[in-house]
Structure 1
Amino acid sequence: MRPAGGDRGRSSVPPRPTGPRLPEDITGKELPGEVRRALQSLTGDNADIVAKHLVASARLVDVDAEEAWQHALAAQKRGGRIAAVREAAAIAAYKAGHFREALAELRTVRRMTGDDSYLPLMADSERGLGRPERALDLATSKEAAGLDTPAKVEMLIVAAGARHDLGQHEAAVVSLQVPQLRTNSRAPWRARLWYAYADALISVGRAAEAREWLVKAAEADTDGETDAAERLDELDGIVFEEDWDDEAGDEADDEADDEAGDEVDASDDVAADDDPAEDED
């Protein structure tokens, strides 16, 4: 005999959604068609919830990476066998600085898809875990040698960062002296490459050369992927915070002078009132 209440486990009511609260304006239809089609292998209600969490994660990943990670994690728990879901979880974890989780998700989605373009993120996650040697192992692997140009450039940048981590600053400079550095194209990766090269030059004391590359990076970086403009100001000795403090100090000095002047005037008035000659008059 089943215990009393045993039939409650067969309720047709769907389980209560887990994960962070979903914004009401998200429908799930915002996803690209190929991702929506991939989610069709899930049950109807579950597919809808996963889709909404994926949209929320994508919306937040550059604004609130931790919240984006929580949405991606909720989607992963419900649709972990879908490669697009694992990819979203990997990217959100990486952006949020959860490098161990990011690396695990990246390995999974690479295994599911056979796509080696995840290798740069995997290498940078190794750096985030304090393992620059492993990052360099990935950068010099035969799989990395077969990457297309955008992914290859990203891997070059990661590898240079790993060399910085190891104190190999001169080697980082040399590693970035590749033909792509002199590109005349409007490739989206050029700003990041130029910025990385400028950063490497600064690390070995070649500030004048670094400035030229920071100028190029700042002009090319129309999407704000780097802080090239800010670094350029720092290199030129422009620090707005100090200027602001100086202005505030000048205003304080002016106020102090005014107050001192008022006190002198008041003293003169008192002295005039106490003058005995005026009392005799």
Structure 2
Amino acid sequence: MSLPKTLAEDVARNLVMVARLIDEDPEEAYAYSRIALRLASRVAAVREAAGFAAYATQKYAEALAEFRAARRMTGSVELWPVMADCERGLGRPERAMAMAGEPEVQKLDKAGQVEMRLVAAGARRDMGQIDAAIVTLQSPELASSSVQPWTPRLRYAYADALLEAGREDEAREWFGKALEADKDGATDASDRLAELDGVEFVDVLGDDEADAAGEAAPRDEDGPADGSAKA
């Protein structure tokens, strides 16, 4: 709203493309974010979008700078967890841990606090403190039977930390709980469970062979297409 109409529309189009592409083609999303940034660097939403696009392409120093700029413009703390995760990406887990103890965390909503807990646990793991990471993830949100948007990732992170600590039976249980809550496929909990159970998915035919076979004979509707599972 602070921009002239034509410029605002150009910026908006680029931000829409960032949102559409950031998961499937982060490099392309990043390119669109740079255009928007060139057009309207004084708009907080543009700086935030540029930050997420840089974050998605692992340009953590650039992402952190953009998130800091957006925070200065808005005064909001909602980017605090992802800023801390950028510190992890830059190889500074101790800074991420310091941020986890700052007053800003108490100003976050529940989702933001859970995200901060995930980042802090990741920082503990970065520093080789696996037991501390497990304790960090133990929380009322983890113990709750209520499924929230953050539940699958929280349970998954806990399972992964347990597995790293050698607590395989508990890890299997929590990967299962993550899978139960993960209706949208946000994690690969099903694959992790399969690995723990010794299940390996293999291609019966290579890609070229499968194409040739598909051309040579009709597919049996009752049989497997191009792969199978073996224990």
Q: What is the Cα deviation at residue 224 of structure 1?
A: 2.1
User: C-alpha deviations, 1:200-240, integer Å up to 9, x for none?
Assistant: 10111001001111011112112222111111111111111
Cα distance in 1 for partners of 2:109, 2:48 equals: 19
Indicate the RMSD between aligned Cα atoms, in angstroms: 1.4
Alignment of 1:171-190 (within 5 A): 171-190=132-151
Q: 2:125 aligns with which of 148, 161, 164?
A: 164
2:190 equivalent in structure 1: 229
SS at match of 1:240: strand
User: Is 1:88 aligned to 2:53, yes or no?
Assistant: no
- 1:68 maps to which of 1, 4, 29: 29
Partner Cα distance (1:212, 1:83) in 2: 43
TM-score, normalised with respect to structure 1: 0.71
Q: Which residue of 2 aligns with 1:47?
A: 8
1:111-162: per-residue Cα shift (whole Å, max 9, x none)? Answer: 1111111111001111111110111111111111332211010111111111
Larger-gyration structure (1/2): 1
Aligned partner of residue 16 in structure 2, secondary structure: helix
1:147 aligned onto 2:108: yes
Q: Partner of 2:38 in structure 1?
A: 77
Secondary structure in 2 aligned to 1:162? helix
**1:62, CA displacement in angstroms?**
0.6
CA distance in 2, matches of 1:167, 1:130: 13
Please state whether the residue corresponding to 1:150 is helix, strand or coil: helix
Task: Report the Cα offset of residue 64 of structure 1.
Answer: 0.3
Q: 1:198 is matched with which residue? A: 159
Find the counterpart in structure 1 of residue 216 from structure 2.
none
For 1:48 and 1:116, how far apart are their aligned partners in 2?
A: 28
Could you say what secondary structure the match of 1:49 adopts? Answer: helix
Query: Matched residues in 1 for 2:168 and 2:102: separation?
Result: 33
After superposition, where does 1:251-266 map in structure 2 within 5 Å? none
Q: Which residue is equivalent to 1:254?
A: none
| Equivalent runs, 1:205-220 vs 2, <5 Å | 205-220=166-181
Q: Which residue of 1 aligns with 2:62?
A: 101
Q: State the alpha-carbon separation in 2 of the partners of residues 88 and 117 from structure 1.
A: 14
**Separation of aligned partners in 2, 1:111 and 1:228:** 38
What is the SS of the residue equivalent to 2:78? helix
How far does the alpha carbon of each residue in 1:152-174 deviate from its partner, in whole angstroms, 9 at most, with x for none? 10111111111111000011011
- Larger relative contact order, structure 1 or 2 (CA cutoff 8 Å, min sep 6): 2
Counterparts of 2:196 and 2:41 in 1: how far apart (Å)?
A: 46
Distance 1:122 1:137 in 2: 12
- Secondary structure at the aligned position of 2:23 is classed as coil
Q: CA deviation at 1:44?
A: 2.8
Equivalent residue letter for 1:63: E
* Unaligned ranges ≥5, structure 2: 207-231
* Counterpart secondary structure, 2:184: coil
Matching residue's letter, 2:58:
G
After TM superposition, the score normalised by the length of structure 2 is 0.85
Q: Which runs of 5+ in 1 are unaligned?
A: 1-39, 249-281
User: Hey, what's the Cα distance between the residues in 1 that align with 2:143 and 2:162?
Assistant: 16
- 2:97 maps to 1:123: no
Q: Partners of 1:147 and 1:92 in 2: how far apart? A: 22
Q: Equivalent residue for 2:224? A: none
Matching residue of 2:99: 138
Whole-Å separation in 1 of the counterparts to 2:49 and 2:68? 13
2:156 partner letter: Y
- Match for 1:238: what amino acid? V
